[in-house]
Amino acid sequence: MSLQTALSACRPGCGACCIAPSISSAIPGMPDGKPAGVRCVQLDENNLCRLFGDPRRPAVCERFGYDHSLCGDDREQALERITALEQAT
């Protein structure tokens, strides 16, 4: 794997984008969606989505792609940056 590839992929087990942002669409177990900063009920103990590949997974989750400017170098940076973006919008 090239360095570029290593730097441009989602980190399995990060899950920051399943915690920091608000999600307005219904999620199984969270029918009104999810407030910002609240852990999605579908995020498992390894910070992986239980609905991966499941049609009930909200479309917005499919669209959240890895973006280094948001995801940063580690999970803490991702949580900080996504929270800051959420508060700014």
Contacting ligand SF4 (CB under 6 A), which of 33, 37, 38, 66? 66
Q: Which amino acid is at 33?
A: G
Q: Which residue in 77, 86, 74 sits closest to 20, CA to CA?
A: 86
If one asks whether residue 57 binds ligand SF4 (CB under 6 A), the answer comes out as yes
CB of 16 to ligand SF4, least distance (A): 4
Residues 2-21 that bind ligand SF4 (CB under 6 A): 10-11, 14-18
* Residue 38 interacting with ligand SF4 (CB under 6 A): no
Residues that bind ligand SF4 (CB under 6 A): 10-11, 14-18, 23, 27, 40, 42-43, 49, 51, 57-58, 61, 64, 66, 71, 78
